[in-house]
Structure 1
Amino acid sequence: MAKQESKVKDKVKMKTLTPIQKEIVTALEQMKEKSLITEANLAKKVRENAKISGKNKAGICLKDLEVCVEYLGENNQLPYTLHLNSANDILIKKEETWKLLDGDAKKRRQSSEKAISVLTSGDLRQKASGGKGLQKRNERKKLSFRDVEEY
Structure 2
Amino acid sequence: MSSKNIYGLTQEKYNLIKKYSLTLNDDLIWEFHHDKYHTIKYFTNKFAIKHSTLALLFNIHRLCYAKIKYFEKNFDKFKPYKYDYKVGFHECELFDMEFILHKPSNIIIDLRNLQSIKDIDEFKRFCNYLETFEGSH
For Structure 1 versus Structure 2, the TM-score category normalised by the shorter chain is: under 0.3
Q: TM-score, normalised by structure 1?
A: 0.25
More helix by share: 1
Higher-Rg structure is 1
Question: TM-score normalised to the size of structure 2?
Answer: 0.26
